[in-house]
A and B are shown apart, each in its own frame.
Chain A
Amino acid sequence: MAFYRTTAILLLLCAALPCRADQLTADELRFFETKIRPVLIRECYGCHSNEAGNVRGGLRLDTKELMLIGGSAGPAVVPGDVEQSWLYNAITHQDFVMPPKRKLSPTVIDDFRQWIEMGAPDPRASNIVEIRSTISEADVQQARETFWAYKKPVDQTPPDVKDIHWPRTDIDRFVLAKLEQADLQPTADAEEYKVLRRICFDLIGLPPTPEQITFFTEKWENDPDQAVSYVVDKLLEKKQFGERWGRHWLDVVRFAESTGREVNMTYPHAWRYRDYVIDSFNDDKPFDQFVQQQIAGDLLPAKTDEKWAENLVATTFLAIGPKNINEQNRVQFAADLVDEQIDATTRVFLGTSVACARCHDHKFDAIPQTDYYAMAGIFRNMTTYFGNPPSDFGNFSAAQAKQNSSLMILPIDDPNPYDKHYTKLELQSLRDEITEKMGEVKQLRRANMGDGNAANAQRNRIRLNNELATLSNKLAVVDKNGIPRSYCMGVQERRSPTNAKLLLRGEIDQAAQVVERGFPQVLCSVLPTIDNQSSGRLELASWIASEQNPLAARVMVNRIWQYMIGQGIVTSTENFGTTGQPPSHEELLDHLARRFVQSGWSIKSVVRDIATSRVYRMSTTFDSQSHQYDPDNALLWRANPRRLDAEAIRDAMLSISGEINSDRPRGSEVAQAGYTRVQGGVLGNPRDIARRAFGTVARNSRSTRGMQRGRMDRSLQDVARAVTGQLDQENSKFRSIYLPIVRDEEPRSLDVFDFADSSAIIGTRESSNTANQALYMMNNRFVIQQSNVFADRVLQQQTTPTKQLEFAFLLAYGRPPTSGERSAATAFIRQFAPTTSYRSRGQKTMSAFCQSLFASAEFRYID
């Protein structure tokens, strides 16, 4: 009995093992301080610490948090796991070689192995602190109750006015009431051709045709109100409406087909989102639905695959922003991505700059830093798709493209029209090539291990990696039969959502308290609840697009007003906060917002209301007395003269010449180029493009040998243009909205006329008047070509000089020439003609005359 008791005791003693301590033990601390920290300081901190300045590889090793975060490759240290620790990989000279010029001693390497296996105990941990906001709940409550933008819009009764004959709609009453209060009078109506021109450009972005002008003029003489109504209704039904208003929306949502920044990689599937936006405006999709699709389309119910695909494509809104894919630290990249998404969502839909609270409490609005991280918790729980999928050989990226992403496979068959179908033989050849190149990489590594020629090895490695990336990207987008798949950008919710930690000063290694997912408190009288299993994105989308939200409807109707009238009721269209401009007509804004919601969030109904108002058809006639009182025309005593935007100018020239192609092109130039880097204004490798272009020229010319100098020059010009003008698309005839929009390489025809910065949220474009624009209209090849075709049209359709003159004016200005203009034009033609060769005198003279019409202010302005 005693024996067995002894046995039991022995077993129990053996069972009493020392447990692994969660806290640092004295031995662990001593081990770190004597064997690990000295080595880190001596061998690593020179390039991988805060003191180093330029942190190599995005990797810092001077704090525990940053060591665990790691750099571009991944975590430097995974406690307990030597295989997954890149630090160990590097010091054992596997995929990385650290220190760069020598290897640590086996003893030191073994110390690090032991240290990682024991859990990498590290006393260099930051203390978690709790950041207290300077903005109290009382401040938030007060702002919510007193600031105009945070109070829900209420139904407004249109005010009484003295001049009861002037208003045609409720909008007119609101405006007139304020004018009468200020003792001002609205100007008279504009001439009918100006009204028509204004309606046509505002609704469809094109000038009226001569037939439309004739029809409208007759109707206007009988009943101006009905004439306007009729034309507005007709234009709202046209597909060009979506192209015009879709472009406004693309300005706001920073649409582009590339990442921008230092490493500019294309988004070959961004065109789907462009088409989605155009279709949504044409279908007059309820705006609340439009909002929900873009923020949480992947989570919305869908009965059919087509609807599901549409919802997925809509979430491209969250993926399409600019990205610094050169960022070496993946945690920093993720934080920046979330920040960009928060900024876009809150400024586009709410006119509120929540992203200002990333590093500190908002300086002006009642938005504490915790509110920002409450939203960060919503957006961090999703995967954003913006790159190119990996092939089954792995994920290879071009040099410097440190951050990448995949794509979503669409549930419908709708591939990129330019994706190549590969035969089985071509597929195999592609795979063989990849395998061969991977072998070369391995050989290179072995050959250069211990070799001092690191720079050469690096260059070869980069070249091979780039080639592998190109090949792998081609293989990745086709199935095993070589048939291209259908992809889209967008987002997908991740499982098991987690909250975000507040980051002190926005620094990724300065994490403070965890913040529960939520919305900006100042905008919610009742905070919506977010389920634990949900990121909150669907709830956010529903809340933004609801009547309970004080801002969404106001912000959108203000945008519509701004596009039609030339300035918003709130001129700071992205800032409805305390530092934004107050509304010039607060009641009118509320009235429009309520009408918008009551109409079922119909954008076309708001457009119609504005276009049929008396305010809209006022003339731009200057009045000095009114100007003295209200120089900014905030009270709208006249219409605002506006310069046409870049797309309208280009499209108008195409429309007038008759060359415009009204069909929607499939895909885009960027889609054709595929996933590639933009360099020097060219999609892909400039040499390949030049080779292809020269091949075309040579084929067309049969042979360049014996070519006359002039013809050779033109051929070379064509080559140069094909390479350098690839993104300018001077020969394209479709509408400007379909031109390739590559960040930092926008088409010249748009850029010269203040095209929106595609890396920013632009509610209101600049409108400049510069010498560049004049020079463009005088010398640009596209303008000259359109002038030629315009002239051909005039000469073909009208037989006498007088009728030709009138026809040209009608097309360009929407009206016949005055007698003074007729004389001036005749004089010009008489003087110009002798300067040209006899054979083409008529055509060249008319071309010059047509170009002068294009270059004039009246063509470029809506009066």
Chain B
Amino acid sequence: MRPFASSFTIACSILVASVCQAQAPIGPGGQRKPHANGQLRMEGIKRPANFVPERDPAKMVARLMKEFDQDGDKKLDSSELMALLKAMRERRSGPMAPGAKEGPLARKFGRDTQQTPATNRQARPFGKDDAANPGGDVPRRPSAE
């Protein structure tokens, strides 16, 4: 029990540390050298446009526990921990091979944004009133009195 608790604690610490490091605001000099402890290289990550870094590690841990604690005992056993680490590795390595199942941590990383089709921009037309509704705007009815 005690060795397992130690492993669990260390793993959580590493997890939190690594996740927090991964979620840190991207500072200048984002190209860091990879470390043996699995810290991520910033240049490897293509963040999606709507990416919002999760800052609170306690919340991150809680979420991960919820995702991977299959038997609900509020602990991660070896198989659950393996699943978590595998998902993290898949996230680090980018889009998956065809047929591969997306892990729960998979984010919708955009492909190289240089190739975003122009038609995707129809939702935001060039320099015009973006809020205009097709067919015209229905005015807001004032009060009767």
Chain A residues within 8 Å of B, Cβ to Cβ: 3, 7, 10-11, 14-15, 17-20, 25, 27-28, 30-31, 71-74, 81-84, 88, 92-95, 109-110, 113-114, 117-119, 298-303, 308, 311-312, 328, 330, 383, 385, 389-397, 402-409, 411, 438, 442, 445, 476-477, 479, 485, 487, 490, 492-493
Given contacts A27-B28, A31-B28, A300-B142, contact A17 B57 (CB under 8 A): yes
CB distance from B60 to the nearest CB of A (A): 10
Residues on the B chain within 8 Å of A15, using CB: 16, 20, 56-58
CB distance from B115 to the nearest CB of A (A): 8
Residues on the B chain within 8 Å of A330, using CB: 127
CB distance from B24 to the nearest CB of A (A): 6
- Which of A390, A445, A479 lies in contact with B118, CB distance below 8 A? A445
Report whether A14 and B57 are in contact in the complex, using a CB–CB cutoff of 8 Å. yes
B83-114 vs A, Cβ < 8 Å mask (1 yes, 0 no): 00000000000000000000000000010011
CB distance from A447 to the nearest CB of B (A): 13
A260 to B144, CA, bound (A): 37
A300 to B17, CA, bound (A): 59
Residues on the A chain within 8 Å of B49, using CB: 81-84
Closest 9 CB pairs of A and B: A83-B49, A31-B28, A27-B28, A389-B136, A406-B132, A20-B25, A72-B127, A392-B134, A92-B114
A536 to B4, CA, bound (A): 67
Beta-carbon contacts under 8 Å, B110-136 to A: 110, 113-114, 116, 118-119, 121-122, 124-136
A395 to B123, CA, bound (A): 10
Report whether B122 and A94 are in contact in the complex, using a CB–CB cutoff of 8 Å. no
A834 to B17, CA, bound (A): 112
CB distance from B5 to the nearest CB of A (A): 8
Query: Can you report 28 A-B residue pairs in the complex whose CB atoms are below 8 A from each other?
Result: A3-B9, A10-B9, A10-B13, A11-B13, A14-B20, A17-B24, A19-B25, A27-B28, A31-B29, A72-B127, A110-B43, A118-B25, A301-B142, A311-B142, A328-B127, A385-B137, A389-B133, A389-B134, A389-B135, A389-B136, A390-B128, A390-B132, A390-B133, A390-B134, A391-B135, A395-B128, A409-B135, A445-B118
CB distance from A486 to the nearest CB of B (A): 9
Most buried by A among B13, B24, B47, B130: B13
Residues on the A chain within 8 Å of B47, using CB: 117
Residues on the B chain within 8 Å of A490, using CB: 139
A445 to B13, CA, bound (A): 51
CB distance from A262 to the nearest CB of B (A): 17
Residues on the B chain within 8 Å of A88, using CB: 113
Residues on the B chain within 8 Å of A298, using CB: 139-140, 142
Given contacts A17-B20, A114-B30, A402-B127, contact A308 B141 (CB under 8 A): yes
CB distance from A761 to the nearest CB of B (A): 27
Judged by DSSP, the binding face of B is loop
Q: Does B81 lie at the interface of the complex (its beta carbon under 8 Å from any beta carbon of A)?
A: no
CB distance from A105 to the nearest CB of B (A): 13
Report whether A95 and B118 are in contact in the complex, using a CB–CB cutoff of 8 Å. yes
Report whether A30 and B28 are in contact in the complex, using a CB–CB cutoff of 8 Å. yes
Q: Does B71 lie at the interface of the complex (its beta carbon under 8 Å from any beta carbon of A)?
A: no
Report whether B137 and A7 are in contact in the complex, using a CB–CB cutoff of 8 Å. no
- Which of A18, A28, A84, A406 lies in contact with B133, CB distance below 8 A? A406
Report whether A492 and B24 are in contact in the complex, using a CB–CB cutoff of 8 Å. no
The size class of the interface chain B forms with chain A is 35 or more
Residues on the A chain within 8 Å of B16, using CB: 11, 14-15
CB distance from A22 to the nearest CB of B (A): 11
Q: Does B82 lie at the interface of the complex (its beta carbon under 8 Å from any beta carbon of A)?
A: no
A117 to B144, CA, bound (A): 49
Chain B residues within 8 Å of A, Cβ to Cβ: 5-6, 9, 12-13, 16-17, 20, 23-30, 43, 47, 49, 55-58, 110, 113-114, 116, 118-119, 121-122, 124-145
Please name 16 further chain A to chain B contacts, defined as beta carbons within 8 Å, in addition to the given A7-B9, A73-B127, A84-B124, sorted by A numbering.
A18-B24, A82-B113, A83-B113, A114-B30, A117-B47, A118-B26, A308-B141, A328-B127, A390-B135, A392-B135, A393-B122, A395-B132, A409-B137, A411-B141, A476-B134, A492-B139
Residues on the B chain within 8 Å of A493, using CB: 140
CB distance from A692 to the nearest CB of B (A): 28
Report whether A118 and B137 are in contact in the complex, using a CB–CB cutoff of 8 Å. no
CB distance from B106 to the nearest CB of A (A): 19
A445 to B115, CA, bound (A): 13
Residues on the B chain within 8 Å of A18, using CB: 24-25, 27
A299 to B55, CA, bound (A): 44
CB distance from B43 to the nearest CB of A (A): 7
Report whether A95 and B121 are in contact in the complex, using a CB–CB cutoff of 8 Å. yes
Report whether B136 and A118 are in contact in the complex, using a CB–CB cutoff of 8 Å. no
Residues on the B chain within 8 Å of A445, using CB: 118
Report whether B127 and A303 are in contact in the complex, using a CB–CB cutoff of 8 Å. no
- Which of A3, A11, A118, A312 lies in contact with B27, CB distance below 8 A? A118
Residues on the A chain within 8 Å of B113, using CB: 82-83, 88, 92, 113
Residues on the B chain within 8 Å of A84, using CB: 49, 124
CB distance from B54 to the nearest CB of A (A): 11
Residues on the A chain within 8 Å of B138, using CB: 408-409
| Closest Cβ neighbor of A309 among chain B residues | B139
Given contacts A82-B49, A300-B142, contact A405 B127 (CB under 8 A): no
Report whether A406 and B129 are in contact in the complex, using a CB–CB cutoff of 8 Å. yes
- Which of B26, B110, B125, B137 lies in contact with A394, CB distance below 8 A? B125
- Which of A19, A301, A396 lies in contact with B145, CB distance below 8 A? A301
Residues on the A chain within 8 Å of B116, using CB: 83, 94
Residues on the A chain within 8 Å of B131, using CB: 383
Report whether A485 and B29 are in contact in the complex, using a CB–CB cutoff of 8 Å. no
A364 to B143, CA, bound (A): 42
Report whether B6 and A3 are in contact in the complex, using a CB–CB cutoff of 8 Å. yes
A836 to B143, CA, bound (A): 71
A300 to B136, CA, bound (A): 21
A83 to B55, CA, bound (A): 22
CB distance from B81 to the nearest CB of A (A): 16
Report whether B132 and A405 are in contact in the complex, using a CB–CB cutoff of 8 Å. yes
Residues on the B chain within 8 Å of A299, using CB: 142
